[in-house]
Amino acid sequence: QAQSTHGVPEILETHIQEQVRREGYENDLLNLRVEFAQAGASSLDLVVIADFKGEVAPLYNRLSRAIQRWCVDACTKNNWEIPFPQLTIHRESGTTG
């Protein structure tokens, strides 16, 4: 939590930059920023801002998926927990269904 506004965004940005380079999009990337967005109900949310050259506009969906994949990979690599919505159901004893 203490690193949510500075350390984590910097680590994530570096990871994404490395993946952009590795997958051959480095010359098409104009701007990359990772910022703290908000404190959610059970999460601290970040936003990835990535601007690419217009020539790669046809790859918009592919790049969007790649950025999400790179974010998940960075979370795994750094042991950051990704919170998922949870629903707990409590039943009275003796009930079925």
The domain locations on the chain are: 7-77
Q: Which two tokens stand for residue 32?
A: 């990359």
**Predicted confidence (pLDDT) at residue 87 exceeds the cutoff of 90:** no
**Predicted confidence (pLDDT) at residue 94 exceeds the cutoff of 80:** no
Question: What is the value of pTM for the model shown?
Answer: 0.81
Q: Which two tokens stand for residue 10?
A: 């910097």
Kindly report the average pLDDT of the chain as a whole number.
91
Query: Looking at residues 74-80, what average pLDDT do you find?
Result: 94
pLDDT in tens, 3-32: 778 899 999 999 999 999 999 999 999 999
pLDDT in tens, 42-58: 888 999 999 999 999 99
Long-range CB contact pairs, 4-7, < 8 A, 24+:
4/36, 4/44, 5/36
- Contact, 67 vs 50, CB < 8 A? yes
**Predicted confidence (pLDDT) at residue 89 exceeds the cutoff of 70:** yes
Tell me the residue length of the chain.
97
| DSSP for 37-90, written as a single string | EEE-SS-EEEEEEEEE-GGGGGGHHHHHHHHHHHHHHHHHHTT-----------
Per-residue confidence (pLDDT) for residue 12, from 0 to 100: 97
Interatomic CA distance for residues 28 and 26, integer angstroms:
5
